[in-house]
Amino acid sequence: MRLLWVPHAPLGSGRSRTEHLVERLARKHEVSVLSFRSHRRKEIWHYFVDLFTHRTKWNGLYREVAMWRFPKLPGLNERIFRRILRRELDDRNYDAVILTPAAYMIGQPDFAELKGKCAVVCDYLDGGHWATEAEVTGFERSFVTSADAVLCVSRGLQQQAIALNPASHYVPNGVERARYENYRLSRSTAECKIDLGITPETYVVSIIGMTCSPHLYFVDAITELARKGRNIVLLLVGETNLRNTIEGRMRGQASAVRLIGPVPYAKILTYFMASDLGLYAVDDIPYFHLATPLKIFEYGAMHKLTLVAPRLQEVTAMKLPFVRFCEANAEALAASIEQIMDERPETAFALPEQYDWDFLAGQTESIIASAIEGRRTGRDGSVASSS
């Protein structure tokens, strides 16, 4: 198959779902990925530098197709996006284009034009609740209804999508199970703590990836436990625009909260292994209830207990043995963390194969192939075993 993938975020901004899937598909198929960039507000001049430096290239596994974009100029971004899609489809005769609903970043494609040239697959990996958030989720429907097949990251999103498109399949996020397991067997938690300058006796709670509530109730929970005399530290790993706010919330307990910042993917396993408890602390809103968080699987692959706040519908439905829940406020979180610290529960389990990226890439390959075949024969892209 010859595939063009349009991701929801810039390449290289973290090991995303897109990168995990396309790297595996590219081992067997010819894959190109649209490459656009996003810069910090203080570095807006980089967008103009991109005009001279950002070019289409081969990264050793797949083509990165350069696209220029500009903040606050959505109309221009959409015109550039559509022009590049048209050029690529005319030049390379793709069998399918895989799109994520990222209209806020690069605009929407001309679906009628696309479907006249190849199969269209929607990777529905982010979404709100269509009934309660109709004004901000309308663009999602256009992607779902226009696709020959839809890859849904959660059962909740699949339930929404299948009402409009019967070729909607459940393909959750996953993890490189073997990579995490090999690292877990080669390094101890104590060794990894020492590598990070933490004493082995310190109880380490971490948020890796910095998907979190902007209300920062998790910072309040940790600082309160530290004030009580608990030997605890919170590692916050990854890029975040909340740094200044977090620093202002430490309330005299700066040693209990460590803002690590971005960490290269090759070194991130040390932080997972050093953790005694993984934390996914977000808000009680539809977006998080409909998501399948990558980080939860990564903690699980490293055999780490994970505390999720609030009780998210999608995560609850997975019935993962290493996940516990509490309410999304500082008092409930602090009480739950303290209880886990005192119990020190065992976390001996195996993450199911269905959440391994190799397995998920095989699922994705089958769905895309069916959509391509369905377009040729006039059928829809349904794959009975994938739904």
Query: What pLDDT score does 387 carry?
Result: 42
Is 2-174+356-386 CATH 3.40.50.720? no
Q: Which two tokens stand for residue 192?
A: 């990894």
Q: Give 182-239 pLDDT, tens digit per residue.
A: 999 999 999 999 999 999 999 999 999 888 999 999 999 999 999 999 999 999 998 8
pLDDT at 210: 87
Can you tell me the distance from the alpha carbon of 148 to that of 202, in angstroms, rounded to the nearest whole number?
Answer: 52
* pLDDT recorded at residue 382: 53
pLDDT in tens, 138-194: 788 889 999 999 999 999 999 999 999 999 999 999 999 999 999 999 999 999 999
**pLDDT-derived band at 136, boundaries 50, 70, 90:** low
Q: Give residue 19's identity as a one-letter amino acid code.
A: E
Say yes or no to pLDDT of 97 above 50: yes
Spatial distance between the Cα atoms of 367 and 387, rounded to a whole number of angstroms: 10
Q: What is the mean pLDDT of residues 296-317?
A: 94
Range with lowest mean pLDDT among 209-223, 238-252, 285-299, 332-346: 238-252
CA distance 325 to 299: 15
- 358: pLDDT strictly greater than 60: yes
Bond preceding residue 310 cis, omega within 30 of 0: yes
Q: For residue 285, is pLDDT > 70?
A: yes
Q: Give 177-343's CATH code, choosing from 3.40.50.2000, 3.40.50.300, 2.60.40.10, 1.10.357.10.
A: 3.40.50.2000
- pLDDT tens digits, one per residue of 25-47: 999 999 999 988 776 777 777 77
Query: Does position 385 have pLDDT exceeding 80, yes or no?
Result: no
- Integer CA distances (angstroms), 152 to 111, 173, 227, 255, 262, in order: 19, 10, 43, 41, 28
CB 151 within 8 A of CB 5: no
**Which residues 6+ apart lie within 8 Å of 63 measured at CB?**
31, 32, 33, 56, 57
Look at residue 134 in the predicted model and tell me its pLDDT: 64
9 confidence band (pLDDT: 50, 70, 90): confident
Decide if pLDDT at 281 tops 80: yes
pLDDT of the residue at 386: 44
Check whether 278 has a pLDDT greater than 80.
yes
Q: How confident is the model at residue 384 (pLDDT cuts 50, 70, 90)?
A: very low
**Alpha-carbon separation of residue 301 from 119, 190, 347, 378 (angstroms):** 35, 18, 11, 41
Asked whether residue 2 carries a pLDDT value surpassing 70, the answer given is yes
Give the mean model confidence (pLDDT) for residues 289-312.
Answer: 93
Cα separation, 65 vs 131, in Å, equals 36
Question: Mean pLDDT over all residues of the chain?
Answer: 88
Task: Assign 3-class secondary structure to the chain.
Answer: CEEEEECCCCCCCCCCHHHHHHHHHCCCCEEEEEECCCCCHHHCCHHHHHHHHCCCEECCCCEEEECCCCCCCHHHHHHHHHHHHHHHHHHHCCCEEEECCCHHHHCCCCHHHHHCCCEEEEEECCCCCCCCCHHHHHHHHHHHHHCCEEEECCHHHHHHHHCCCCCEEECCCCECHHHHHHHHHHCCHHHHHHHCCCCCCCEEEEEECCCCCCCCHHHHHHHHHHHCCCCEEEEEECCCCCHHHHHHCCCCCHHHEEEEECCCHHHHHHHHHHCCEEEEECCCCHHHHCCCCHHHHHHHHCCCEEEEECCCHHHHHHCCCCEEECCCCHHHHHHHHHHHHHHCCCCCCCCCHHHEHHHHHHHHHHHHHHHHHHHHHCCCCCCHHHC
Question: Which residues belong to CATH 3.40.50.2000 in the chain?
Answer: 2-174+356-386, 177-343
Would you state the pLDDT for residue 189?
94
- To the question of pTM greater than 0.75 for the whole model, the response is yes
